[in-house]
Amino acid sequence: MQLSRIDLADLHTPERIAATLHSQIGRIDGAVPVVEIARSLDIGEVRLDNFDGFEGMLLTDKVRSQGAILANTGRGRRRARFTVAHELGHFLMEHHVLTASEGFQCRASDMRETREDRQQRRQETQANRFAIEVLAPGYKTRRFLNDDPDLKATQVMRDELDISLEACVRRYVAMHPEPLAAVWSHNGRVRYPIRGPSFPWVKPESGSRLATDTPAARAIAQRASGFTRMQECHPGSWTDDESVAELFEQTRVGKNGHAVTLLWATITDAEEDDGLDELDVPKFR
């Protein structure tokens, strides 16, 4: 594979860098060969192994003359592929400031960072945005978004794109035209939630217990591994936003108490309610 960093040098957003990279690669069948891509962009060594103390590491200098990537396989090969893409993002985004004397050292939590309030968080968020754009480009993911939301689609994405289910769910929620959110949990306690661009605020916070009246909590308690059906639930169990007219949920219960719940909202358009009060039932004092 012959790739050039010259066309990538003056680009600053992760989406543009990834898009330009894919324009060089062209459309490919199967999973994106991220290790081969990295080696074609001056990454001299890519080592996947079971490391302690970090999820990924990029060894490089300030001018990015060359680099080496270490990716932890302790959480699985698919997660390691995402880590390679994440570290490659740090390498190609030359405005990223090294976080260690020898380059970048990233933790597991950095691989799902979305905040941009501080420089290091912003850099990790941008590296994650680059990684998912490289591994799950639009032309490979859009066909999964044509039908009504269904967590089973993310499992098919996982197998075809060769990335983790967690990464696929995040991509699915971000790209689907319907208002979606997802909540990861362990033994009935929230690990963390994410929401798509049109979904309102998700009420459960990290560490809190799932509401016992939810189908998700019941399925997890029963250790019913696999997918539940999409079913209606009480909006107040997941959000306090009054714009949610209906809410549906579907859960995939995995091993050792781990689960992910997909939320699908029907949003009330406030403009549709304009002037309806005067047509309502008369009120008497």
Q: pLDDT digits over 7-53, tens only?
A: 998 898 999 999 999 999 999 999 999 999 999 999 999 999 999 98
Q: pTM for the whole thing?
A: 0.88
Q: Is the pLDDT of residue 3 over 70?
A: yes
Q: Over range 85-95, report the average pLDDT.
A: 96
Q: Is the pLDDT of residue 179 over 90?
A: yes
Residue ranges of alpha helices (H) inside the chain are 14-25, 34-39, 77-92, 119-135, 138-141, 151-161, 165-175, 215-221
281 band by pLDDT with thresholds 50, 70 and 90: very low
**Cα-trace Rg, the chain:** 21
Sheet containing strand 56-60, strands side by side: 43-49, 67-72, 56-60, 103-106
Q: Is the pLDDT of residue 204 over 70?
A: yes
- The residues near 109 (Cβ < 8 Å, ≥ 6 apart) are none
What's the whole-number average pLDDT of the chain?
92
Paired with 262 in beta bridges are: 182, 250
171 band by pLDDT with thresholds 50, 70 and 90: very high
Paired with 58 in beta bridges are: 69, 104
Q: Is the pLDDT of residue 176 over 70?
A: yes
Question: Hey, what amino acid is at 115?
Answer: R
Rounded Cα gap, residues 227 and 209, in angstroms: 20
Of residues 254, 253, 219, 222, the one with CA closest to residue 233 = 219
Q: Over range 184-211, report the average pLDDT.
A: 95
54-69: pLDDT as tens digits? 999 999 999 999 999 9
Confirm if 199 and 181 have CB atoms less than 8 A apart. Answer: yes
Q: What distances in angstroms separate CA 264 from CA 34, 247, 280, one per listed residue?
A: 32, 6, 29
229 band by pLDDT with thresholds 50, 70 and 90: very high
Q: Is the pLDDT of residue 184 over 60?
A: yes
Q: Is the pLDDT of residue 273 over 70?
A: no
Rounded Cα gap, residues 277 and 281, in angstroms: 8
Q: Over range 136-147, report the average pLDDT.
A: 94
CATH of 6-135, one of 3.40.50.800, 3.40.190.10, 1.10.10.2910, 3.40.640.10: 1.10.10.2910
Give the per-residue pLDDT at 23: 96
Residue ranges of alpha helices (H) inside 96-150 are 119-135, 138-141
272 band by pLDDT with thresholds 50, 70 and 90: very low
Tokens 């016992």 sit on residue: 212
Paired sense of beta strands 180-186 and 103-106, if any:
unpaired
Q: Quick one: tokens of 97?
A: 């400031």
3-class DSSP state of 272: helix
233-256: pLDDT as tens digits? 999 999 999 999 999 999 999 998
115-127: pLDDT as tens digits? 887 888 999 999 9
Tokens 């039932």 sit on residue: 281
Give the per-residue pLDDT at 115: 85
Identify the CATH number of the domain defined by range 139-270: 3.30.450
Give the per-residue pLDDT at 146: 87
Q: Is the pLDDT of residue 143 over 70?
A: yes
- What is the share, in percent, of the chain residues with pLDDT greater than 70? 94
3-class DSSP state of 203: coil
Q: Is the pLDDT of residue 80 over 90?
A: yes
Kindly compute the dihedral angle of the four CA atoms of residues 56, 95, 161, 171, in this order, to the nearest 10 degrees: 100
Domain ranges of the chain: 6-135, 139-270
Give the per-residue pLDDT at 270: 57
Rounded Cα gap, residues 57 and 46, in angstroms: 10
